[in-house]
Chains A and B, each alone.
Chain A
Amino acid sequence: MPGVIGVVQATETVKLIVGQGEPLVGRLLMYDSLAMTFREIRLRRDPNCPLCGDNPTITELVNYEELCGLTAPEPVGVGG
């Protein structure tokens, strides 16, 4: 049931808007519904990240179907 993650996202959004609490910046929350566990791993900004690193090589949008190896540009919907 994806509701758990969607509600976590809504909660984080409200926290960002009102400026309260500790948002999940630099943390990845991992949820396993069969085991019913929440784990968390620390994330760090990668100074060598091609996008947000200190010397970025990606400075504009690219072709994302191609990036993902989808050679035939089939329309890709969003919506889970």
Chain B
Amino acid sequence: MAKTQQDFLVAARQEIPEVSVQEVQERGQPGDDFVLLDVRENDEVRAGYLDGAVAIPRGFLEFQVASKVPQTDKEIIVYCAGGARSLLAAQVLRSMGYENVSSMAGGVTRWKDAGFPVQRDRQLSAEQLERYSRHFLLSQIGEKGQGKLLDAKVLLVGAGGLGSPAALYLAAAGVGTLGLVDADVVDLSNLQRQVLHSNDRIGMPKTESGKIAINAINPDVNVQAHNMRLTTDNVLDLFAEYDIIVDGCDNFPTRYLVNDAAVLARKPVVHGSIFQFEGQASVFKPHEGPCYRCLFPTPPPPGLVPS
């Protein structure tokens, strides 16, 4: 005789121990001793999940559990919305060799009814879910990483040869706030390499031209156009508004100014420089690694090295 949903659940209950939401709450944050496994669909997880939970939709359980929970002797508490899917998922885990698996009775519904808190990641719009869907396929980024990108504030010093590609890729990736600081206007001779700008924007401030290009790729990005020279008077106030500084400047005074201000303000600098056919890049993280002055305490004499 064909089995009904009830038959499956009765069989699962005979095999899988159930724990109450109170017991789970008393266990505290999952860590070395146990894993909390959320087997609901992505949109359900998005609406709220238990702190520290690992999420694998039930349909992907057999395919993903080995990478997310490699040790089969680890204790796993499985939960879903109401406590039924988690029982069936726990049965699958048992048959895959996981020895210590239980199911949270009543699921997230009972958890919330008991007044216990749920975590919510940044809520993405339907358009954002599609725009960044390829990021979600990368476990190192995922929806959590996309949330961090959207919350990030990055300042690009220079909207020229280095700042152009950096700005375009950071915009496409969904960095939420991009600041551009540059005092120049777009010149025809820039267009051979400065791909942020275009023929019809010659004469326009580079910050304005950059804003147009960035928002044409991704209207999510809040572009701050700082159409000015970076100076000792404005640099610290400007850096205070950003998390990361991308240095794409083309002269030594600005490079030392950026370095010194970033160390004083404790902001990481993603450094890049080019000359003719050669280039270099590094990340200067204040007090965790070297700064530009650790390499070059003082600038070269003027005229000796092209900037």
Contact = CB atoms under 8 A, between A and B. Distances in A.
Interface in B245-273: 246, 248-254, 256-257, 259-261, 263-264, 268, 270-273
B280 interface: yes
Interface string A8-47: 1111111011111101111111111110000000011110
Contact of A49 (B193, B270, B293): B293
Contact of B251 (A9, A31, A32, A76): A76
B160 A78 contact: yes
A24 B261 CA distance: 20
B294 A52 contact: yes
B162 to A, nearest CB: 4
B166 A13 contact: yes
Contact of B250 (A5, A34, A52, A78): A78
A59 to B, nearest CB: 8
A17 B135 CA distance: 14
A79 B159 contact: yes
A2 B244 contact: no
Contacts of B32: none
Nearest to B186: A79
B270 A12 contact: yes
Interface residues of A, number: 59
B48 interface: no
Interface string B139-167: 01100010011001010011111111110
Contacts of A24: 281-283
Contact of A76 (B149, B159, B254, B290): B254
A18 to B, nearest CB: 4
A46 to B, nearest CB: 4
Nearest to A77: B184
Contacts of B158: 78-80
Given A16-B268, A43-B290, A63-B232, A80 B162 contact: yes
6 contacts: A16-B283, A23-B285, A46-B297, A67-B298, A76-B254, A78-B182
Interface of B: 140-141, 145, 148-149, 152, 154, 157-166, 169-170, 173, 175, 181-184, 190, 193-195, 206, 229-230, 232, 235-236, 243-244, 246, 248-254, 256-257, 259-261, 263-264, 268, 270-274, 277-291, 293-295, 297-299, 301-302
